[in-house]
Amino acid sequence: MNPIDRLTEAFEKFPGIGPRQARRFVQYLLSAAPGSRADIAEQIKALGANTAQCSSCYRWFPIGKQASNGARVGILCDICGDSHRDTATLFVVEKDADIDNVERSGFKGTYFVLGGTVPLAAEEPARHIRLRELQKRVAENKLGEIILGLSATTEGDHTRNILQEVLKDLGKKISSLGRGLSTGSELEYADPDTIASALSSRS
Ligand SMILES: [Zn+2]
């Protein structure tokens, strides 16, 4: 396969990117200065070397040079490693970007990144959905409440039902975000005030 088709195929694997958009990315890179192409390639390489996945909440976060040379197993992100956070409240989100947004709303508990939602048609959740990891985290930790912060979409609702089923025997209080998040909205795009009000009206 030629380099144009190969890179187009690689971009097509990105979430939400179709063949035409993938081709446009390649076109952009072809017309970009060689220096900026090399820079992007370098940044992709650095992404693996200078980041780690939190062993508690599963979000990806940047790490310093020293840490990147050592063991990365069991490493905690700045939120999970912060002793001032309310560790009794666990906020379950779909993806890393949701955390940034919830943080801006002033939430002071801890998080768990599920890894996505479960489509209605799916017979069983995809492997990247961390149901087992969530069960383990809930069973092992002294949690007072689990807040399900899923998108107000059909897939989000479906995923919420699955989580309630999976967590029901663990004897914890499970709540969902209240009104404020309009139908169809994703947590990633909600403004901090909306999230704060959805949090305070959770049930
Ligand atoms: Zn973490």
How is the chain split into domains, by residue range? Answer: 3-49, 89-200
Chosen CATH of 89-200 out of 1.10.630.10, 3.90.1150.150, 3.40.1360.10, 1.10.167.10: 3.40.1360.10
Task: Give the predicted TM-score (pTM) of the model.
Answer: 0.81
What is the pLDDT, as a whole number, of residue 16? 86
* pLDDT over threshold 70, residue 139: yes
Distance 77 CA to ligand 1 centre (A): 4
Distance 187 CA to ligand 1 centre (A): 18
Of residues 76 and 71, which shows the higher confidence score? 76
Distance 37 CA to ligand 1 centre (A): 32
Distance 53 CA to ligand 1 centre (A): 8
The pLDDT mean for the chain works out to 88
91-119: per-residue pLDDT in tens? 999 999 999 989 999 999 999 999 998 88
Lowest mean pLDDT among 116-120, 131-135, 178-182, 187-191: 178-182
Confidence of residue 123 (pLDDT cuts 50, 70, 90): confident
CATH, domain range 3-49? 1.10.8.420
Distance 6 CA to ligand 1 centre (A): 35
25-42: per-residue pLDDT in tens? 999 999 999 999 999 999
What is the pLDDT, as a whole number, of residue 30? 95
What is the pLDDT, as a whole number, of residue 194? 85
Q: Closest by alpha carbon to 153, among 176, 130, 187, 128?
A: 187
Distance 182 CA to ligand 1 centre (A): 28
Mean pLDDT of 181-200: 79
Which residue carries 């650095």 as its tokens?
Answer: 46
Q: What are the DSSP calls for the chain, one per residue? A: --HHHHHHHHHHTSTT--HHHHHHHHHHHHHS-HHHHHHHHHHHHHHHHSEEE-TTT--EEE--HHHHHS--TT---TTTT-TTS-TTEEEEESSHHHHHHHHHTT--SEEEE--S---TT-SS--TTS-HHHHHHHHHHS--SEEEE---SSHHHHHHHHHHHHHHGGG--EEEE--TTS-TT--GGGS-HHHHHHHHHT--
Distance 113 CA to ligand 1 centre (A): 9
Distance 155 CA to ligand 1 centre (A): 25
Distance 75 CA to ligand 1 centre (A): 8
* pLDDT over threshold 70, residue 180: no
Q: Do domains 3-49 and 89-200 have the same CATH topology?
A: no
Lowest mean pLDDT among 124-128, 180-184, 195-199: 180-184
Distance 175 CA to ligand 1 centre (A): 21
Distance 78 CA to ligand 1 centre (A): 7
* pLDDT over threshold 80, residue 186: no
